[in-house]
Every structure is written in structure tokens, then in C-alpha cells.
């Protein structure tokens, strides 16, 4: 009988961040930055909680990581529960991060093609839990989703 692969502890940490953001009334998107097998930063989308246009989960993760020597970033993998947007992807390129693990991209496709065009390895795990968290948020707060992303609901499709 086949067994399911063991859960990825780093994606699980990103999902925990997403859950925290949802519990705070914000978007359930989480991120962790991993270097040499250790989480060195974590964050979640705080756009609603802080009234911020910048604190997407990945940007909040970078902020919480703090200053690092330049040689650290190319050894890192960024985990995000949702496909990163162009702003967050640009930060990854700026710091030389070469790997990104995405929880899901069914809700919205971010800048994955841009990342790949800059030689970033992008792996999409298609996590049901990541998708379900976003689905629950969109159903609960469609006006916030529309404001942040520009789409009304899962049934309406998603504008980019």
C-alpha cells in the first residue's frame, strides 16, 4: 500500500504563519525563509492588520529575518503558501534567492514565470490546505480579496 510523503516541515511552518494571519483577520498567506536546513525568518501577510501595502507574507518574512550577510541569501529557499507576486519575486531576485517552494497557485498565479526566467527553481506542491485557507478567506472577506488582488470570488475567476 503506497504511503503519503511526509509533510514538509518548512511548508508546515509557512502554513502555521498563514493560519496566524487568518486568525488575526488578515489574508491567510504565510512564508518562511530557510538557510542550510534552518528557518531564519518567518512572516505572514499583514496588509490588513497594519494597513500596509508592502507587508505581503514574503516581504514580512524578509523584514522579520533582519539583515543577513549577502552570502546567506543564495543558500536560502523561500517557502510561501501562495504563488508570490511580482513585488515579492523582485525581492527574491534582488537578494539572489534561487529556490522557491509554493504551497498553491490555483487561487492566483503569481510571478512564477518571471522567477523561472531569472533561473529561480520554483516548485509548486499544490497543497489542499493552502488552497482551502484562501478559499475560506475569499468567501468570508471578498471585499478585502478584491481590494488586494482584484478578484471577487472563486466562482468569478481571478484577475491579475
Quote the CA–CA distance of 47 and 52 in Å, as a whole number.
Answer: 4
In 24-46, which positions are buried (b, 16+ CB within 10 angstroms) versus exposed (e)? Answer: eebbbbbbbbbbeeebbbbbbbb
Which residues are the active-site residues? 58
The H or E element that residue 19 is part of is helix 9-23
Rg, Å, the chain Cα set? 15
| CA–CA distance, 141 with 36 (Å, rounded to integer) | 38
Q: How far apart are CA 50 and CA 60, in angstroms?
A: 11
Helix, strand, or coil (residue 24): coil
Amino acid at each position: 500500500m503506497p504511503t503519503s510523503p511526509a509533510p514538509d516541515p518548512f511548508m508546515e511552518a509557512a502554513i502555521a504563519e498563514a493560519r496566524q494571519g487568518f486568525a488575526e483577520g488578515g489574508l491567510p498567506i504565510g512564508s518562511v525563509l530557510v538557510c542550510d536546513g534552518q528557518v531564519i525568518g518567518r512572516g505572514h501577510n499583514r496588509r490588513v492588520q497594519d494597513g500596509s501595502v508592502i507587508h505581503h507574507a514574503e516581504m514580512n518574512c524578509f523584514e522579520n529575518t533582519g539583515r543577513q550577510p549577502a552570502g546567506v541569501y543564495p543558500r536560502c529557499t523561500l517557502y510561501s503558501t501562495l504563488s508570490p507576486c511580482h513585488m515579492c519575486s523582485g525581492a527574491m531576485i534582488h537578494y539572489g534567492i534561487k529556490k522557491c517552494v509554493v504551497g498553491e497557485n490555483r487561487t492566483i498565479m503569481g510571478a512564477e514565470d518571471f522567477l523561472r526566467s531569472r533561473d529561480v527553481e520554483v516548485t509548486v506542491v499544490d497543497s489542499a490546505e493552502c488552497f482551502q485557507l484562501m478559499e475560506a478567506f475569499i468567501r468570508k472577506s471578498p471585499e478585502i480579496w478584491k481590494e488586494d488582488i482584484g478578484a471577487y470570488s472563486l466562482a468569478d475567476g481571478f484577475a491579475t
